[in-house]
Amino acid sequence: MQTYRLGKTGPDVSAIGLGCMGMSGMYGPSDRAESIATIHAALDAGVNLLDTGDFYGMGHNEMLIGEALKGRKREEAVISVKFGALRDPSSGWNGYDARPIAVKNFLAYTLQRLGVDYIDIYRPARLDPNVPIEDTVGAISDLIKAGYVRHVGLSEVGADTIRRAAAVAPIADLQIEYSLISRGIEDEILPATRELGISITAYGVLSRGLISGHWQKGQQGAGDFRAVSPRFQEGNIDENLALVEELRKIATLKGASVAQVAIAWVAAQGKDIVPLVGARRRDRLTEALGSRAVELTKDDLSAIERAVPKGAAKGARYPEAQLKHMDSEK
């Protein structure tokens, strides 16, 4: 597995990372044993970047990863953790808390749940509108000095916030949604990260399965984010799936799956961009890893651009209420 350095001073990570959120809900039920087997298969294949959040399943995801890492060498995994989102007992969302005292509190519980003594990359899940980003990054820097964290990351913030954060401490990467149908970072955010030498870890590279080539209408059930995601709603879904069929034509000519072409497209946008794949099963992981063998020529990239033009997707990537909390959308 090829590796890349995140940012100027960040860790070396595999060319593909594993996003573990779906193993703890959000997309419906998942199988615990299969989730752990998938994490093991990823590590065995050389995938060392494991991404999670302390609020995924209200701590369930961290405990799952901790269980999967038992008996393994700690340095096999580069653990990336998002913090700050507030939940309630009914799984509702109650905003964000990125005060320095809260940062240290969140980390204490994360270390316990994961069963490790340090986190490789620690990042606020969203910008807390009540706390200057300088204060949050400063708190993470204090934790680095104390040996509990190795690197600072950011998530879903805009260019101005990125610059302010980078003035406080080196930033390894910005985690943000980026895919063929979510290209908003290309206008201001990606130029800013490249100017500052900050990498992108791209989540949602298959747009929550929408452009995986496997999704069909009506698949989402109870507890599935896609039931409220605008791009999966009537009035949008048919046009979005039509884009997938255009992409499928190109994938067929390449002897690849739609998902593999979609992941390869993200990887082809630069060595400073690392796709995170949200595989919950070993077969989906195997398919995603197969994208590394898909070489996209200039002609291929042009054909993909014609098939799925920038801005062609119908519907926003999050419901309006969530977009309001995202600094990256301002």
Residues known to be catalytic: 56
Residue pair 163/196 in contact by the 8 Å Cβ criterion: yes
Residue tagged 């913090």 (tokens): 83
d(Cα 110, Cα 95) in Å, to the nearest integer? 19
DSSP-derived secondary structure for 157-211: --HHHHHHHHTTS-EEEEEEE-BTTB-GGGTTHHHHHHHHT-EEEEE-TTTTTTT
DSSP-derived secondary structure for 261-275: HHHHHHHTT-TTEEE
- Which residues make Cβ contacts (< 8 Å) with residue 37, sequence separation at least 6? 282
**Cα 249-180-259 angle, rounded to 5 deg:** 55
Cα-to-chain-centroid distance, residue 293: 22
- Count of residues making up the chain: 330
Residue pair 75/64 in contact by the 8 Å Cβ criterion: no
3-state secondary structure of 235: coil
d(Cα 200, Cα 178) in Å, to the nearest integer? 9
CA–CA distances in Å: residue 234 to residues 26, 227, 314: 20, 11, 10
3-state secondary structure of 302: helix
Rg (CA), the chain: 19
d(Cα 6, Cα 201) in Å, to the nearest integer? 9
- Which residues make Cβ contacts (< 8 Å) with residue 255, sequence separation at least 6? none
Which spans in 45-158 are helix H? 60-69, 100-114, 133-145
